Amino acid sequence: MSDERDSQFYVDLEDLYGAANYNPLDVVLTRGKGIWLWDVEGNKYLDFLSGYSAVNQGHCHPRIQKVLSEQAKRLTLTSRAFRNDQWAMLTKEICSFTGYQMVLPMNSGAEAVETAIKAARMWGYQEKGIPENQAEIIVCENNFHGRTTTIISFSSEPHYRQDFGPFTPGFVIVPFGDLAALEAAITPNTTAFIVEPIQAEAGVLFPPPGFLKKAKALCEMNEVLFIADEIQTGLGRTGKMFSCEYEGLVPDIMVIGKSLGGGFYPISAVLSRREILGLFTAGSHGSTFSANPLGSAVAREAIRVLQEEGLVENAAELGEYFLKKLSSLKIRNIRTVRGRGLLLGVELTPEAGGARRYCEALAQEGLLCKETHENVIRFVPPLVIKKRDLDWAFKRIKKVFKELE
């Protein structure tokens, strides 16, 4: 399959023709299986990023692969001008496993967040009685909800916004985890509060314990919809199927994506009650590829794999194990280690010289990680990982951290 060139050949090609909107490590991957990846030279790596949690089920999972190739021979795209059997089955299955009444499918995470914003605004006008074009949505500082122009309009990260204005109005930013600030920001025109249960992109940041539950109660009291972006934290990553379960809370709207496609196919979804998603009428929203039979069949199997292979339980158990191991490291350059389930982050001190050089050194040892912002390295393996693989990884992490002291 490979054209049998060396890594440098592909790096040069990509750098010449591809827009440089990412800063990848110069590892050119060509094959994957489970937790493992291989580059074009045949070097083997443990994947400690999992496609930003889009590959919770592991690379090229055989069950999902089989469903994908069989569905690819049968039917792949109808558009929603017509119905298809796979999407119809997925609606019921996704609602019964999440407990929601209705689902609206999209393709990428950002599109699903956009859809949740539309749904919340529509609910605000039609149900809450907010005057036309006055709806406000409260968001958190350091949020990451995607890259569309509306979503970056409420980002607090200058680099995500620079030269992309003018921006969409109607958003208010409050500090993450600050209940008083949230309360102060709510006005009669507030229609929703959108939050990541754990801010993964910002560096695996947690709100104070109990914040989400109290925020939900505050929203309820003020007739404000609570929207949880579980695109990265959901589907088992943090040791529960959804991270909000840690506080026993059911968001009014939940957004999922990433591992819903098992690493094979982009598919995302917005979940909510009938009184909210039921407000969409024919023609009010859509996407050509949404609910297509290929993606729907893949998502059905991706969900089954998560459930039937006990991946959520594995994330809980091994996450706790690995967090303990990482916390035992006596390294001056480590400021803190934090995480839940298999969403783990090591924060380096400012003197450590940046997380990037750590990621480069870890890649040399066969571990693929990615820095987030300056000083945080995320350890986010596929949820099919085993204890012995984590032990293998730990040895290498320890070696690299000692060498770079």
Ligand X SMILES: *Cc1c(COP(=O)(O)O)cnc(C)c1O
Catalytic hit among 258, 264, 370, 401: 258
The stretch among 6-14, 106-114, 303-311, 385-393 that binds ligand X (CB under 6 A) is 106-114
- Buried b or exposed e, range 149-178, using 16+ CB within 10 angstroms: ebbbbbbbeeeeeeeeeeeeebbbbbebbb
The enclosing H or E element of 237 equals none
Task: Kindly identify the residues of this chain, within the stretch 141-200, that bind ligand X according to CB under 6 A.
Answer: 144-146, 196, 200
- Site size with ligand X, rule: CB under 6 A: 15
109 binds ligand X (CB under 6 A): yes
Distance in angstroms between the alpha carbons of the first and the last residue of the chain:
41
Task: Kindly identify the residues of this chain, within the stretch 209-238, that bind ligand X according to CB under 6 A.
Answer: 229, 231-232
Structure tokens belonging to residue 271: 């979940």
Q: How far is the CB of 260 from ligand X (least distance, A)?
A: 10
270, 273, 276, 281 alpha-carbon torsion, rounded to 10°? 80
Separation CA 149–CA 133 (nearest Å): 18
The stretch among 71-79, 102-110, 123-131, 243-251 that binds ligand X (CB under 6 A) is 102-110
If the CB atoms of residues 255 and 318 are measured against ligand X, the closer one turns out to be 255
Separation CA 326–CA 349 (nearest Å): 15
139 binds ligand X (CB under 6 A): no
| Under 8 Å between Cβ of 384 and 58 | yes
**Which residue in 257, 263, 341, 381 binds ligand X (CB under 6 A)?**
257
Report the relative pairing of strands 370-372 and 376-379 from DSSP bridges: antiparallel
The stretch among 30-38, 72-80, 104-112, 295-303 that binds ligand X (CB under 6 A) is 104-112
If the CB atoms of residues 272 and 333 are measured against ligand X, the closer one turns out to be 272
Active site residue 258: yes
| Under 8 Å between Cβ of 31 and 38 | yes
Catalytic hit among 39, 47, 48, 144: 144
Active site residue 144: yes
Q: Which residues contribute to the site for ligand X (CB under 6 A)? A: 52, 108-110, 113, 144-146, 196, 200-201, 229, 231-232, 257
- Supply the residues annotated as catalytic: 144, 229, 258
